[in-house]
Amino acid sequence: MHYNRILLFCIVFLLFTSCKEKKSPVQTDYSLEFPHSSQTLTLLFCGDIIQHLPQIYSAHEPSEKDYKYQKCFKYIAPYWADADFVIANLETTLGNKDFSGYPRFCSPWQIARDLHQLGVTTFVTANNHSCDQLGKGITNTIYYLDSLGIPHTGTFTDTLNYKKRHPLYLQKDGFKIALLNYTYGTNGLPVPKGFVVPHIDTTAIKQDIQLARRDTVTNIIAFMHWGYEYHNFPNKEQRALSKWLHEQGADMVIGSHPHVVQPIEYYTSDKDTLGVTVFSLGNFISNQSQQGTEGGICIRVTLTKPRNHPVRYQMEPIKFYMYRPYEEGRRRYYVVPENLADSVMKDFHLTKSKNFFKKTDTILKSTKTFSF
């Protein structure tokens, strides 16, 4: 594969306005050298999908013997409609009974069903909760995702399965993207014998990236479960690993685990921009209430190749807030994008959401560009 070096083609900017000034997210635009496609491909990344017990109780519909989650995502789902691939971090195991919340999650498989029906195409599953239910949890999660026809990567039932399905390739309209997924650990629980949960190991990651490059991919995405929880800025290990990943050939590095939003950074060498890192998307859905955990961002990345021109690489952050009102005798959970906040929320919920959006703007305005 010819390594897809990213060329700095126009001014890179990432401006975020305050809630009072503008509700729509601002786009960041720069170009890539991209040899194959004259089409457009859109990726959308979502953060931590967590299910605490109150969320499971909220989704339960006893009369229908079902768990229903579509209402949770009805406000955010329209953003997925025009994306070719929507990739989310599934930070729970799946099952059909004996559900549990923190610290060892097991959630109804229907959350994956409903997210998929609404537009989520792909899950990454390597995180610190991958082994919460030991081998049974990994097996069940893979079984339900496979049964639903949802591509996924991050946990594997055995080494043969790992070799066949890793990296995960996303292909469409001349684009071939390798999706890699790693975690810093599994909360002290050992990976069950025979199973595979890729950990952050630079030797293994380098081999994976080399394999992807031999398979003539057009882009490489590393989805990393890393960092310190509840810290709004990356630690030195994240920064060093991000730089190293781009040096090895990863175009995009997407982060999860801190449960709060962290900045976006660009990496350059001479006149070339080698990649972009989103250190943490924050939570996508959860019942956490610590400051900064009550929302997050999705990142929309659009690759466009006009004829006889370099590929345009466009980024759009989408801020949202977790709205948790009491309705019909139970707490409900809604992922509400910023542009709908005024029409959906009221009272202290609206005030808290505006504070969250304002703080998120401040974090994202700290975006930096680094030279190798």
| pLDDT bucket at 34, cuts 50 / 70 / 90 | very low
Nearest to 253 by CA among 283, 275, 286, 285: 275
How large a percentage of the chain has pLDDT more than 70? 85
Specify if 172 maps to a domain. Answer: yes
Instruction: Give per-residue pLDDT as tens, 147-162.
Output: 999 999 999 999 999 9
Total-model pTM: 0.88
**What residue has token string 């139970």?**
330
**What residue has token string 């406000």?**
75
**What residue has token string 């401006």?**
15
Q: Give the model's pLDDT for residue 306.
A: 59
Specify if 109 maps to a domain. Answer: yes
Q: Give the model's pLDDT for residue 18.
A: 36
The CATH number of residue 271's host domain is 3.60.21.10
Range of the domain at 119: 28-371
Q: Give the model's pLDDT for residue 370.
A: 67
Specify if 260 maps to a domain. Answer: yes
First to last CA, the chain: 23
55-69, 268-282, 315-329: the lowest-pLDDT one:
268-282
Q: Give the model's pLDDT for residue 155.
A: 99
Specify if 10 maps to a domain. Answer: no
Domain count for the chain, please give it.
1
Q: Give the model's pLDDT for residue 50.
A: 99
Q: Give the model's pLDDT for residue 218.
A: 86
Strands 93-95 and 175-183 turn out to be: unpaired
Residue, of 265 and 57, whose pLDDT is higher? 57
Average pLDDT, integer, range 331-339: 99
> Is 94's pLDDT higher than 90?
yes
Specify if 79 maps to a domain. Answer: yes
Q: How far apart are CA 184 and CA 200, in angstroms?
A: 5
Show the DSSP H helices in 166-248 as ranges.
202-214, 236-248
> Is 15's pLDDT higher than 50?
no
In angstroms, the Cα distances linking 219 to 27, 44, 67, 210, 248 are 20, 15, 37, 12, 12
In angstroms, the Cα distances linking 82 to 92, 240, 300 are 27, 34, 10
Average pLDDT, integer, range 187-198: 98
Nearest to 86 by CA among 338, 284, 218: 284
Specify if 236 maps to a domain. Answer: yes
Taking a C-beta distance cutoff of 8 angstroms, is the pair 200, 145 a contact?
A: no
Instruction: Give per-residue pLDDT as tens, 112-150.
Output: 999 999 999 999 999 999 999 999 999 999 999 999 999
Q: Give the model's pLDDT for residue 176.
A: 92
14-23, 165-174, 221-230: the lowest-pLDDT one:
14-23
Specify if 6 maps to a domain. Answer: no
> Is 372's pLDDT higher than 70?
no
Specify if 237 maps to a domain. Answer: yes
Q: How far apart are CA 177 and CA 171, in angstroms?
A: 6
> Is 76's pLDDT higher than 60?
yes
Taking a C-beta distance cutoff of 8 angstroms, is the pair 365, 264 a contact?
A: no
**What residue has token string 């729970």?**
92
| pLDDT bucket at 20, cuts 50 / 70 / 90 | very low
Mean of the per-residue pLDDT values of the chain: 89
**Token pair for 128:** 């610190």
